[in-house]
């Protein structure tokens, strides 16, 4: 089950049904089972506080994933700063919706085992993001 929450920002419309279907397709395609995935859409400052408190990082970011997966069941919390997503969309010439979908996919890709620590991992992650973004079209 996929849940959506809004913290420290006003709630806004997103294509919840489309997102749910496409994230489920991603999970199935990666030979996993969808458990509970929570998307928490929030402000820069809200996510900065999480980054400081839980990861000891003192910087803004667009997404932080907390993995609660067990065996092949994908579960976790994905915190997304809509402020940073908006800024990144402008920087990369993307729409807000497209960039939001990318970070939603990014968080789940971490849950299925992809990382982005090395340059090689980042290229693989970006290719997977692009692959699954095509589901949203």
pLDDT for res 137: 66
Q: What digits encode the pLDDT tens for the residues 3-38?
A: 999 999 999 999 999 999 999 999 999 999 999 999
Q: Please, what is the average pLDDT of the chain?
A: 96
Report d(CA 133, CA 106) in Å as an integer. 10
pLDDT for res 99: 96
Q: Which domain holds residue 110?
A: 2-136
Instruction: State how beta strands 63-67 and 33-42 pair.
Output: unpaired
Segment holding 63, helix H or strand E: strand 63-67
The pLDDT of 29-52, averaged and rounded, is 98
Q: What CATH number is given to the structural domain containing 116?
A: 3.40.390.30
How many independent structural domains does the chain possess? Answer: 1
The token pair at 3 is: 């849940």
Q: What is the DSSP annotation of 74-92?
A: EEEEEEEEHHHHHHHHHHH
Q: 10 Å Cβ neighbour count for 30?
A: 17
- Of the pLDDT bands very low, low, confident and very high (cuts 50, 70, 90), residue 95 is very high
Exposure string for 87-110, b = 16+ CB within 10 A, e = fewer? bbbeeeebeeeebbbbbbbbbbbb
pLDDT for res 93: 97
Report residue 37: phi and psi, to 5°.
-120, 125
pLDDT for res 22: 93
- Which pTM does this prediction carry? 0.95
pLDDT at 136 over 80: no
């Amino acid at each position: 089950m996929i849940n959506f929450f809004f913290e420290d920002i006003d709630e806004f419309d997103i294509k919840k049904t489309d997102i749910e279907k496409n994230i489920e397709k991603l999970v199935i395609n990666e030979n996993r089972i969808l458990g509970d995935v929570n998307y928490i859409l929030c402000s820069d400052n809200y996510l900065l506080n999480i980054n400081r408190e839980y990861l000891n990082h003192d910087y803004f970011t667009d997404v932080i994933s907390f993995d609660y997966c067990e065996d092949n069941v994908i579960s976790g919390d994905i915190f997304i700063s809509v402020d940073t997503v908006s800024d990144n969309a402008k920087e990369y010439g993307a729409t807000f919706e497209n960039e939001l979908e990318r970070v939603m996919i990014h968080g789940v890709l971490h849950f299925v085992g992809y990382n982005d620590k090395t340059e090689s991992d980042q290229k693989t992650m970006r290719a997977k993001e692009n692959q699954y973004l095509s589901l949203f079209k």
